Amino acid sequence: MSATTARLRVRPDIEVVGDSADQVHLCLVNHTATFVSPAVTRVVRALVEVLRTPTERDDAVRVVSGSTGAEPDFVSYVLDLLDRAQCLYPVSASSGQENREPLGDFWAAQGNDPTASAAELAARRVVLLVPAAFRAGMAELFDVSGLYATLVAPAPGDPLGPAVEAVRAGAAEGAFALCVWGFPYRSRVAREVMEVALASRRPVLFGVCEGLVGRVGPLVVPHATACLMCVNARLLSTSGSAEVIAQAARDLGPAGIPEPRVSHPAFERAVSGFFVVELTQFLRNEPPASIGGFVEYVFGRGEADRRPVQRAPHCVCCRPALPSRFGWDATFRGPVLATETP
């Protein structure tokens, strides 16, 4: 934060509590800052009122010094206290923050400049592959979250090729990341997008709701973290052989866009919201929960589990082909001598 040039403003969630001259509480959504002594509380109250509109630091000090009679150096000191107590946020000169809106208020309540946060997300356009049935819901979530995506939304029964090509084209045009919502992890479309991500070295976030289970992740960093096929291999390793055979048959079956899996509509909407939150974390360089694993939600359970996933040793997707080698039980017989021949 530039304390001398940027305009400052009190965070949008601030609530001034207490009318005592000795003590004033500034309650914010996730913490409370308390200031004591009449000399300080008087200046704090005056600064909060002035900084409800974006104001340059020097102007705020001058106005409050004039209205309270306090020395400018003392007002400046109290303003620093407010800043260190995380009560303020910077406002860009070009910001339209005089007109507040929910997402900008959220960034401001974390102490971020809303204009800079919006610009950061706008610069990181992603490609989103989503079934046609979920297109509208996902577009709305992206809109309220300030995310920008090239949407690829094929319908069930559509051929696989054009959808995967659209994702590949988006990656080639410089998409920051790829996202896949609503396709079963064992479907061919999910696998082919995984291969596009590995080839183009783009991170890819998967998420899906299937029946009673919703999953956000894995967020795959190509050739560094477990890929979707690693996840499938780990999940299949605990299932019966019939399911492994069924998966092999599915891999060889007709290539088309599958029907979305059945799920409770509100559950699907809730988990898709967590998917967008997870993507937001990643795009803002905040620690994502789904890197090297996935977060699992179970309908009606009211809590989530994070499940780490290691890379599978012989993953056909993300492990480079190794030279063939002899099996452990290889045997080498010596030459048979003529004298031993019966």
- Interaction site with Zn ion (CB under 5 A): 227, 229-230, 315, 317-318
Among residues 178 and 229, whose Cβ is nearest to Zn ion?
229
Compute the C-alpha angle 148/295/225, nearest 5°. 75
Q: CA–CA separation, 89 vs 222, rounded Å?
A: 36
β-partners of residue 56 are 7
Which of 260, 55, 52, 230 minimizes the C-alpha distance to 157? 260
Among residues 51 and 230, whose Cβ is nearest to Zn ion?
230
Among residues 33 and 315, whose Cβ is nearest to Zn ion?
315
Give the residue at shortest CB distance from Zn ion.
Answer: 315
- In the complex, the smallest distance separating the C-beta of residue 236 from Zn ion, rounded to whole angstroms, is 13
Among residues 298 and 317, whose Cβ is nearest to Zn ion?
317
- In the complex, the smallest distance separating the C-beta of residue 220 from Zn ion, rounded to whole angstroms, is 8
Burial class (CB in 10 A: 0-12, 13-18, 19+), 228: buried
Compute the C-alpha angle 260/265/267, nearest 5°. 105
- In the complex, the smallest distance separating the C-beta of residue 320 from Zn ion, rounded to whole angstroms, is 11
- 72-84 vs 38-50: helix crossing angle, rounded to 10: 70
Look at residue 200 and give its three-state secondary structure. helix
Which of 150, 140, 138, 146 minimizes the C-alpha distance to 272? 138
- In the complex, the smallest distance separating the C-beta of residue 321 from Zn ion, rounded to whole angstroms, is 13
Q: CA–CA separation, 45 vs 145, rounded Å?
A: 33
- In the complex, the smallest distance separating the C-beta of residue 206 from Zn ion, rounded to whole angstroms, is 12
Q: What is the Cβ-side half-sphere exposure of residue 223, based on CA atoms within 13 angstroms?
A: 8
8 Å CB contact between 225 and 302: no
Among residues 313 and 335, whose Cβ is nearest to Zn ion?
313
- In the complex, the smallest distance separating the C-beta of residue 228 from Zn ion, rounded to whole angstroms, is 7
Q: CA–CA separation, 245 vs 225, rounded Å?
A: 26
Among residues 42 and 311, whose Cβ is nearest to Zn ion?
311
Among residues 250 and 284, whose Cβ is nearest to Zn ion?
250
Q: CA–CA separation, 290 vs 293, rounded Å?
A: 5
- In the complex, the smallest distance separating the C-beta of residue 270 from Zn ion, rounded to whole angstroms, is 29
Among residues 129 and 230, whose Cβ is nearest to Zn ion?
230
Which of 189, 143, 155, 151 minimizes the C-alpha distance to 170? 151
Q: What's the sign of the alpha-carbon dihedral 278, 282, 287, 292?
A: positive
Look at residue 230 and give its three-state secondary structure. helix
Residues 6+ apart with CB under 8 A from 140: none
- In the complex, the smallest distance separating the C-beta of residue 204 from Zn ion, rounded to whole angstroms, is 12
8 Å CB contact between 228 and 218: yes
Among residues 216 and 309, whose Cβ is nearest to Zn ion?
309
- In the complex, the smallest distance separating the C-beta of residue 233 from Zn ion, rounded to whole angstroms, is 7
